[in-house]
Each structure stands twice: as C-alpha cells, then as structure tokens.
C-alpha cells in the first residue's frame, strides 16, 4: 500500500499547488457575491430576506460541517473525503451558475458550502501526511494559510472583475475547470491512507454541527437581537452537550486535551482575530477603493494584490522564523506588525489617499497576518498525532469561518453606524433621497443620480467623507484588538516558556 512517506518528495509540491487552488476557490466563494449581488438581483429579483440568505447560506452550511467532515477524513480516508468534496463543490458551482430562480440558487449555494466543508479541513490535515518533515510542513502550512486568508479578501474584487466582464454567473463558472484538474491529480498523486481505527461518533458530530450552526447563525446573520440570543443560547447548549460527551466517550470524536497544550488556545484566538479583520476590513477596503477613490474593480484588485503579495512573502519567510524563534514569538510578532499596518487607515484621509502610505499599510497587513495565521495553524496541526490531524484542522477552519462571519457583522455594522452618524446630508436633499443615502456610500451614489449637479456633488462628497471615517474607526478598533492580542500572546509565550 502506498504511503505518504513513499511518495517522491518532488510530487508533494505540485500537489500542494493543486490543493492550494482548491482551497483558494473555497475561500473566494465565501465573499465573491458581495460585489456580484446587485447584478444577480437585477436578473433573479430576490426579496430582501432572500438576498441575505444567498450570501449567508454558504458559510452557515460550511461552518457546522467542518468538524464532522474533518474527523470523517481521519476515520475513512482523507483522499476519499477530499475527492468527494471536490465533486460536490464542482457540481454545486455548475448548479449556481445556471440556477433559473432563487430557490434553486439557495439549494446549490448550500451544497457548495457542504463541499467546501469537506475540502478545507481535509486539505490542511493532508499537509501533516504529505510533509512529515517539520520544516517542509511549515512551508506548506504557510502557503495554504496565506491562500485561505487572502482568498476571502480577494473574493469581492474578483467578483467585481467577473461581473464587469461577463455577469454574476461567471463567478461560479471559474470553479469547475480548476476542480476537475484537482480531482484528476488528487486521484493520480494523492496517497491512499488506510481507514483509521478510531470509530466515528455520529451523535458527537451532530451535537458539534448543531452547536456551531447556532453560534454561526447568531454571529453571521443575527436578523434581530432576540433571534441572535436564542440561536446563540441553543448553540452553546449543544456545544456543552458535545463537550460533556467528549469527556465520557472513549475514544472521543475530538480530543479535548488538545486545548490544554501550550499555545493552542492562543492559536485558535489568533485564527479568529485574523480572519475577522481580513474579511471585515477587506470588504471595507474594497468599498473605499471603489466608492471613495473611484477605482474600477480591476484597479481596486490591483491595490489589494499588495495584501496577497505580502502574504506570499510571509509564506516564504515564516517557516525559517518558526524554526528559529518558535510559534508563540512569531505569532506575537505577526500581531505587532498588523498593529503598525492598521495605524495607516486609522490615521484617516491623509494616509488613505497617499498611494505610498496606503501601499505600505496593505503590505504590512498581509505580512503580519501571514505570520500570525501560519504560526497559529502550525501550532494546531503540530499539537496532535497524524491520525487526529483532521480534528485539529477542523477546529482551525471552524475558527476561520466563524471569524469571517464575525468580522463581516461587527466591522460592517460598526462602519455603517459611523457612516450614518457622520453623513452630513445637505438640507435641500429630499427626505426619501436622504434615507437612501444613509443606507451606505454605494446607495448614496444611486440617490445622487437624480439630484441637480451641485447638490449631487455635495451629497457625494459628504458620503465619501463619512465612508472614510467609517473605515478609519474600524481600523482603529482592529488595531486596538491586535494590540491586546499581541500582549496576551506575549504573556502566554512567557508562561509556557
């Protein structure tokens, strides 16, 4: 039987590129419809609630399935689960692209989330198998962590470019060719790992899925405070039952001693914080570049590529830094670099309108988050044995999805509140137009289209100023959170050392 160690080392790196491409598509699809949604609305005409669900159903399906599918790979074979995930993801992409109405689109978006939930944790746990040597594994983890993190940021811009050229359906047609190549190469190159000996506890998987679903629903799409509190409470109860069962079941679906190991809790917190900021501020940056600076989606994408490039550099340098300084110190340094980078947008309009300063801020953001995310992921994957890597990877990816939902909700709501509070609408603007302009900077452009030229310019200027302030405040809050995280991570590293 073929094993990971018997595979030629040179084959693992091309396979890493294939795995990374699949992971990138899964990350992109979480946010690609943020820009494509207006074009979709014009064609399918969904209601307001349906619009929310078209975007939200993907992460709300993926998040609760990550732990069940990650541990399923440990039990029944990672190659089998990964290839199944690729097939499900590819079929769902075709279904979304050719959906004739909203219900069909929702069904295939949910299927897309299920496919992504198979791909993400199994891809990360396979790194433990394909790269048994620690130094090479750290390089592979750095590459995949950078891909996953920047994919969510790049999703809205990529969606804008595709919509600008071909329409919203093109955002899904990008997936099938890459997925087909991934299936062929995975079947040809990926080693067959034998089924694990540990039984798979379906009841524990159900409790974990229900608990994470409740929390994800409350965090990602609360709807109302009553609904959010009820959903979060139900989720916490189910998670409590899951934890109780893990303590009494032998062997457990998820070994809870993982969280007692040095640095693991700080690593999970690092993943949550990094993804919250990447996704939340990434969407705000995309909005700022297009609405305030007036850049096209393609030009905005070029600016955000600085984050991707810096993350790639971080992927190259992080493994050697981990070997020399250790995970805790590199994670702390990543938090500190991110704090400095966030001071650029937090400084306000003068810094944001400077191409040099903004470029430095985006570059620092990508580098700092690559350091923090890679060191956190390496901590989690290195903390368990190879046959439990799927569970650890699922914990990391659950933090990834919840962080993305939390970032979108919290930073989006904060920026919207600051925008509405700081928007100085000219007195001559009619009340219906004023209400529309208060909804957001993009809506202000629509509202201004029917006004006299001078009044429209005044309204647009006020909207751009308020939008800039919203980004400035959000970046300042994020910088404060990362500063606290850096201090906490440093304290943890001292105590563990």
Taking the domains of the chain in order of start, what are their residue ranges? 9-200+253-417+474-496, 201-252
Residue keyed to tokens 């929702």? 106
- Residue 115 has a pLDDT of 94
- Residue 17 has a pLDDT of 82
41-47, Cβ contacts within 8 angstroms, sequence gap of 24 or more: 43/167, 43/168, 44/99, 44/101, 44/102, 44/105, 46/102
At the second CATH level, the architecture of 9-200+253-417+474-496 is Up-down Bundle (1.20)
Least confident of 86-90, 111-115, 164-168, 478-482: 164-168
Q: Which residues contact 9 (CB under 8 A, 6 or more apart)?
A: 136
Structure-block tokens of residue 15: 């396979």
Could you read off the pLDDT of 207-228 as tens digits, one per residue?
A: 888 888 888 777 665 556 788 7
Q: Which residues contact 462 (CB under 8 A, 6 or more apart)?
A: 423, 424, 425, 426
- Residue 147 has a pLDDT of 78
> What are the φ and ψ backbone dihedral angles of 224, each rounded to 5 degrees?
-145, 160
Q: How many C-alpha atoms does 408 have within 13 Å on its Cβ side?
A: 22
Per-residue burial over 335-349, b if 16 or more Cβ lie within 10 Å, else e, is: bbbbbebbbbbbbbe
pLDDT band at 198 (very low <50, low <70, confident <90, very high): low
The answer, yes or no, to whether residue 8 has pLDDT greater than 60, is no
- Residue 97 has a pLDDT of 93
- Residue 485's nearest CA partner among 216, 219, 265, 256 is 265
- Residue 496 has a pLDDT of 59
Torsion of CA 375, 381, 382, 384, to 10 degrees: 150
- Residue 195 has a pLDDT of 61
Could you read off the pLDDT of 309-363 as tens digits, one per residue?
A: 888 788 778 888 988 888 888 999 999 999 999 999 999 888 888 889 989 999 9
Could you read off the pLDDT of 152-177 as tens digits, one per residue?
A: 767 777 777 788 788 889 989 989 99
The answer, yes or no, to whether residue 406 has pLDDT greater than 60, is yes
Structure-block tokens of residue 184: 């062929």
- Residue 389 has a pLDDT of 60
Structure-block tokens of residue 436: 């529309």
The arithmetic mean of pLDDT across residues 44-52, rounded, is: 73
The answer, yes or no, to whether residue 2 has pLDDT greater than 90, is no
pLDDT band at 453 (very low <50, low <70, confident <90, very high): confident
* Whether 152 contacts 279, CB under 8 Å: yes
Percent of the chain with pLDDT over 90: 17
- Residue 474 has a pLDDT of 93
């Amino acid at each position: 039987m073929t094993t990971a160690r018997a595979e030629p080392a040179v084959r693992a790196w091309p396979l890493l590129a294939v795995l990374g491409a699949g992971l990138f598509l899964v990350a992109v699809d979480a946010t690609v419809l943020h820009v494509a949604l207006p074009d979709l609305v014009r064609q399918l005409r969904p209601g307001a609630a349906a619009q929310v669900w078209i975007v939200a159903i993907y992460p709300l399906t993926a998040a609760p399935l990550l732990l069940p599918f990650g541990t399923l790979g440990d039990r029944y074979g990672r190659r089998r689960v990964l290839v199944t995930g690729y097939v499900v993801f590819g079929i769902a992409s075709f279904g979304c692209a050719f959906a004739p109405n909203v219900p069909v689109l929702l069904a295939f978006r949910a299927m897309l989330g299920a496919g992504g939930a198979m791909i993400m944790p199994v891809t990360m746990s396979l790194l433990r198998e394909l790269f048994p040597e620690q130094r090479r594994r750290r390089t592979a983890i750095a590459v995949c962590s950078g891909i996953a993190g920047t994919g969510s940021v790049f999703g809205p811009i990529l969606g804008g470019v595709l919509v600008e050229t071909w329409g919203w359906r093109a955002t899904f047609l990008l997936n099938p060719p890459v997925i087909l190549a991934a299936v062929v190469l995975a079947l040809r190159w990926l080693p067959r790992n034998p089924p694990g000996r540990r039984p798979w506890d379906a009841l524990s998987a159900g409790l974990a899925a229900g608990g994470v679903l409740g929390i994800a629903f409350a965090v990602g799409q609360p709807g109302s405070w009553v609904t959010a509190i009820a959903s979060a409470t139900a989720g916490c109860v189910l998670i409590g039952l899951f934890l109780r069962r893990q303590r009494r079941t032998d062997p457990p679906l998820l070994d809870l001693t993982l969280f007692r190991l040095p640095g693991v809790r700080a690593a999970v917190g690092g993943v949550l914080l990094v993804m919250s900021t990447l996704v939340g501020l990434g969407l705000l940056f995309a909005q700022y570049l297009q609405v305030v600076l007036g850049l096209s989606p393609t030009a905005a994408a070029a600016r955000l590529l600085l984050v991707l490039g810096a993350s790639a550099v971080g992927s190259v340098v992080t493994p050697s830094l981990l070997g020399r300084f250790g995970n805790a110190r590199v994670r702390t340094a990543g938090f500190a670099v991110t704090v400095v980078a966030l001071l650029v947008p937090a400084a306000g309009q003068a810094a944001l309108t400077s191409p040099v300063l903004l470029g430095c801020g985006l570059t620092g953001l990508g580098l700092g988050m690559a350091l923090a995310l890679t060191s956190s992921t390496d901590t989690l994957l290195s903390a368990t044995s190879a046959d439990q890597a799927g569970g650890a990877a699922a914990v990391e990816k659950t933090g990834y999805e919840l962080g993305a939902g939390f970032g979108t909700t919290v930073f989006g709501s904060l920026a919207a509140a600051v925008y509405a509070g700081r928007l100085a609408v000219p007195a001559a603007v009619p009340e219906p137009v004023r209400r529309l302009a208060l909804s957001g900077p993009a809506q202000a452009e629509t509202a201004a289209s029917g006004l006299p030229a001078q009044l429209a310019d005044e309204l647009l200027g006020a909207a751009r100023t308020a939008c800039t302030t919203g980004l400035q405040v959000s970046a300042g809050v994020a910088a404060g959170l990362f500063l606290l995280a850096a201090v906490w991570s440093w304290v943890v590293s001292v105590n563990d050392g």
